[in-house]
Chains A and B, each alone.
Chain A
Amino acid sequence: DAKTTQPNSMESNEEEPVHLPCNHSTISGTDYIHWYRQLPSQGPEYVIHGLTSNVNNRMASLAIAEDRKSSTLILHRATLRDAAVYYCILRDGLRATSGTYKYIFGTGTRLKVLA
């Protein structure tokens, strides 16, 4: 299973953009890049995912490097509600076709948002 590396913690001021980096140098061609976040006392919550192209949704944007060995989750305007642990995870798309579904979580990045 391919691994990801993230900084342990980051800080941001409220209303400012946040760029959360993730390295995944051993990514394979069929691995999707998923981002989840976990707020205190809750289960992880899906944020965004992508394969090769940059992706946008109402929560965030995902910028994927051309060689796919790194990606960046972008929160355009951080709010206090965005304070959470953010996990970058690789999911094997081939295995997903057969119904096999398994996430290997790293330690994630704890985002602190300052008012």
Chain B
Amino acid sequence: KAGVTQTPRYLIKTRGQQVTLSCSPISGHRSVSWYQQTPGQGLQFLFEYFSETQRNKGNFPGRFSGRQFSNSRSEMNVSTLELGDSALYLCASSRAGGDGTEAFFGQGTRLTVV
């Protein structure tokens, strides 16, 4: 089956601009979460959506936002880009379940802010 698809894979933006990243989860997965990975801070949780509702939010400024559509696809948006937003943005999808079901990650979108 197809894995988690993130688009675009690479992106270069200028400070002050905004950007929208897309994530298509595995078919049947209703939970989508987003992570930011930088060399200095490692992997940090941004937010998580389930059935179009944001369930969890990490410690990021309000410039970072997201949404989930009825088909479980998700987008995240970063407004007023700063140089420090340069990072690998990863999306993960999973089924919801009490058995500790694993998450499947996409290959990420590499965002460079210049």
Contact = CB atoms under 8 A, between A and B. Distances in A.
B100 A99 contact: no
Helix, strand, loop or mixed for chain A's interface?
loop
Interface of A: 32, 34, 36, 41-46, 49, 51, 87, 91, 93-94, 96-108
B107 A42 contact: yes
Interface of B: 4, 30-31, 33, 35, 42-45, 48, 50-51, 55-56, 58, 90, 92, 94, 96-108
A32 B101 CA distance: 9
A41 B9 CA distance: 11
26 contacts: A42-B108, A43-B105, A44-B90, A46-B103, A49-B102, A94-B98, A97-B97, A97-B98, A99-B30, A99-B50, A99-B55, A100-B48, A100-B50, A100-B55, A100-B56, A101-B31, A101-B48, A101-B55, A102-B33, A102-B48, A102-B56, A103-B103, A105-B35, A106-B42, A107-B42, A108-B42
Given A99-B51, A100-B56, A105-B43, A44 B105 contact: yes
Contacts of A34: 100, 102
A105 B42 contact: yes
A49 B103 contact: no
A103 B33 contact: yes
Contacts of A93: 98-100
